[in-house]
Amino acid sequence: MREQAGLSWLAHPKPREGQVEMISSCLNTLQRGGAHLASAPTGIGKTAAALAAALEFASKSDQRKTIMFLTPRQSQHRIVVDTVRRINSLRDEKITLVDMIGQSGMCVEPFAGNRGASFSLLCSNHRKNRQCKPWLTNAPGFEQRILSDPLHVEELVEMSKTHIEEGEKRQTCPWKAARNAAKQAQIVVCDYNHLFIEEVRNASLKAMDLRLDQLIVIVDEAHNLPDRVRMGMQRRLTPTMVRNASTEVEEHLGNLQRVSTVNDLMADAIQLKLWTLEVCKEFRLVLNREFKVLVSSLGKENEISVPAKRVLSWLEEAFDAVDAIASQSTLTGEENAYTAPDKISRLKMFKHLLETNEVEVDENGDNEPSAHLLAHLIDVLDRFGGGTALCLVFEGEGRDGRIITHLLDAALVAGPIFDNVAGSILMSGTLDPPHMFADLLGISNKLRGDSILPSPFAKERRPIVVATDVTTLYRERTIDNNKRIQSHIHSVVQNTPGNVAVFVPSYKFLEEIFDSSFYVPGVKKEIESKMWTKKDIDSLLINLEDAPKVGRKILVAGVFNGRLSEGVDYAGGLLDTVICVGIQNAPPSVFQKSYSNYIKDKFGQANFWRYANSQPAVNTILQAMGRPIRAMGDRALIVLLDRRNVDRTYSICYPPDTKFNQVRDSDGSGRFAKRFFSKVKREVDT
């Protein structure tokens, strides 16, 4: 059986149900350089199947191909590494793998706690000034150790601290070592940003000596990708940010003037930096004036749309004002006169001078370098501001208000990438319908292939109950409706033998449902907080595992799209029941209206509601529903507390073989739970 194409790379001695089909269909798409979208439920081993297809394709290629496995959560990195370890246990020739996260997450220096651009500047300054000893320390033996046997990124970082090189302990930079090792690795595991954020992609691929056309891309949890790509283009603009950028440019200018030697090149650099400073000052004046106008235009929604061309015109106004000052200074022969760049290139020049601005960063702080943030904003405006795919929203938040950019079309970023890689596999348990995600990501009809694999789990082991007496429809969110929701949760928890997870649309709704009056005797409540860390999640999983041993059960409550509803593996029967409260449609907003109109214009009236609203909302529920069933012997009850689930608008968004059991009140949901758990027991593998 393992002689069939791809099966020799499988992590299991025998293929599971659905794996042969998935490997074959993925391989067929890869062989024509396409992008395969696989809606593959939990339980079939989709990570192993995708890797088997990609490794088979890479092994038959005439030229070097590297598999880039992209996954949004660090916990999912571990699954990939463990899968490759299992493959290696079945083969004589070992597969090489490098597991990476962001640079700050792998840093061993004291300032590693900083995040974002603040960390980047600290790291850059330490390297440039030769203060970072781990970066300066080469350890080729450690790089070979990374390749000798797959390491989880945490193991890699810890090993870098104790590695012995040529008989002595050498602390090297684990991030640098990982990128160097990736030049020879067959598989690189990393976050979406390494491919879909341009500045990160350019730096990463160059450092790893890779080109797009050499990559076989596997995207895990690919239902998240359109939103992640669009969120990657989100930027903010405030007068305070521009003021801070001015200060940073002035600091860099002062450094240049103090240390410069007199030559034409340095003189030109100082002139350009002077021009940049003056543009920042003028732009701040324009923003102060225009933001006051925008504030006066705000209604009760506290947000309004701002055309991208309008913001670009403010920049042009600042450029023109500075050009006029430059011309006058040249005529009068002033000492600090400067020459402005050519009018055609000044926007790109301004962006370049901002993003290359250098300032000292406080190692104990977390200050974002505003010059770099302003450069990123200008880049988004320059790339997308000329069309309808960029929505700018002014919000009356903070002292002066702020403008936020929203990219409406992930295809503008993702499409060219999928066009240029050697092949790709996008997979998720909720990548359904595949053609919708292909449309949203700009994958052409010529490239796309897809498969929808049935769940291997018997439906009677995961029945779905819909309560028809409750809803979270905004106009029906009454006190009585909330009490009925509480009654359903109370009744189901009482009749469930083990732990229960409840997911709701928002943190505000979480507070409303689980207020001080909600109490189930003998049940401990664990309510998700925005402040929870990975440590909190790990502690919760231990508590869930220990609860049955002490004759106790836990009610876990979290939000859709939160840390508890996606990415957490509740393996080993940790959950007996999952309750999904409501349908998480996006609330009305300037952005949501713009997004809906854009989708309607691009994909038509027939598709826009499903693409922009109902399918994303149902996929969020499906993700939560998939939390309790992780192995063939598991069983769980699913309770949907919103009657809209059985309406055609939403019911067509569920897999076609979905069966809904309807109940009219909390007594009905409680009876169903009691009946189910009395008949269906969890089967423990022996």
User: Residue 75 and residue 199: Cα distance in Å, rounded?
Assistant: 25
Q: Are residue 448 and residue 593 in the same domain, yes or no?
A: no
Domain check: are 446 and 562 in the same one? Answer: no
Q: Kindly indicate the confidence band of residue 53, based on its pLDDT and cuts at 50, 70 and 90.
A: very high
Percent of the chain with pLDDT over 90: 64
Asked whether residue 23 falls in the same domain as residue 170, the answer is yes
Q: For residue 131, is it within any domain?
A: yes
Same domain, 149 and 181: yes
Considering the domain boundaries, does residue 109 fall inside one?
Answer: yes
Summarize the chain as % helix, strand, coil (round to 5): 50, 15, 35
Do 373 and 297 reside in the same domain of the chain? yes
Check residue 103 and give left, alpha or beta (phi > 0: left; psi -120 to 50: alpha). alpha
- 13-46 pLDDT, tens digit per residue, is 888 888 999 999 999 999 999 999 999 887 788 9
Please give the Cα distance from 97 to 187 (Å, whole number). Answer: 5
Question: Is 78 found in the same domain as 195?
Answer: yes
> Is residue 603 in a domain?
yes
Q: How far apart are CA 489 and CA 491, in angstroms?
A: 6
Residues 673, 525 share a domain: yes
Mean local confidence (pLDDT), 247-253? 91
Comparing 433-437, 462-466, 620-624, the range with the smallest average pLDDT is 620-624
Q: Are residues 608 and 548 in the same domain?
A: yes
d(CA 97, CA 499): 37
Q: Which domain range does residue 445 map to?
A: 7-232+411-452
Same domain, 439 and 474: no
**Given phi > 0 = left and psi -120 to 50 = alpha, else beta, which region is 166?**
left
**CA-based nearest residue to 560, from 501, 486, 635:** 501
Query: Which residues are paired to 69 by β-bridges?
Result: 189, 218
Read off the tokens for 563. 């840390």
pLDDT (tens digit per residue) in 72-129: 887 789 999 999 999 999 988 899 999 999 888 898 888 776 666 667 777 887 888 8
- The model's confidence at residue 137, banded by pLDDT at 50, 70 and 90, is confident
Is the predicted pLDDT of residue 499 greater than 90, yes or no? yes
Measured CA to CA in angstroms, residue 671 lies from 15, 482, 494, 498 at distances of 39, 20, 10, 16
- CB atoms under 10 Å from CB of 659, counted, come to 9
Contact between 106 and 157 (Cβ < 8 Å): yes
pLDDT at 261: 62
Contacts of 89 (CB under 8 A, 6+ apart): none
Question: What pLDDT score was predicted for residue 288?
Answer: 95
Kindly tell me if the per-residue pLDDT of 624 is higher than 70: yes
The pTM assigned to this predicted structure is 0.90
Does residue 68 sit within a domain?
yes
Q: What is the dihedral of CA 139, 144, 149, 153, to 10 degrees?
A: 40
Residue 589 is part of a domain; what is its CATH number?
Answer: 3.40.50.300
Q: Which of 437, 452, 467 is a domain's end point?
A: 452
Whether residue 221 is contained in a domain is answered as: yes
Q: Kindly write down the DSSP assignment for every residue of 223-279, as one continuous string.
A: GGHHHHHHHTT--EE-HHHHHHHHHHHHHHHHHHHHH--S-HHHHHHHHHHHHHHHH
Q: Tell me, rounded to whole angstroms, the distance of Cα 415 from its chain centroid.
A: 17
Domain assignment present for residue 686? The answer is: no
CA–CA dist 49, 5 (Å, integer): 12
Return the minimum-mean-pLDDT range out of 3-12, 228-237, 619-628. Answer: 3-12
153: its two tokens: 């990124």
In the chain, the number of structural domains is 3
DSSP 64: -
pLDDT over threshold 50, residue 686: no
Beta strands in 333-447 (DSSP E): 390-395, 402-407, 423-428
Residue from 57, 97, 56, 49 nearest 77 by CA: 97
User: CA-CA distance, 620 to 637, in Å (whole number)?
Assistant: 17
Backbone region of residue 250 per phi and psi (left: phi > 0; alpha: psi in -120 to 50; beta: other values): alpha
What is the Cα–Cα distance from 409 to 229, expressed in whole angstroms?
A: 9
For 215-244, what is each residue's pLDDT tens digit?
999 999 999 999 999 999 999 999 999 999
Q: Are both 384 and 258 inside the same structural domain?
A: yes
**Does 486 fall in a domain?**
yes
Q: How confident is the model at residue 677 (pLDDT cuts 50, 70, 90)?
A: very high
Does 406 map to a domain? no
One-letter amino acid of 237: L
Q: Hey, is 91 helix, strand or coil?
A: coil
Round the average pLDDT of the chain to a whole number and report it.
Answer: 89
Q: Are residues 540 and 419 in the same domain?
A: no
Mean pLDDT value of segment 450-472: 88
Question: For residues 416 and 424, what is the distance between their CA atoms, to the nearest angstrom?
Answer: 13
Same domain, 353 and 432: no
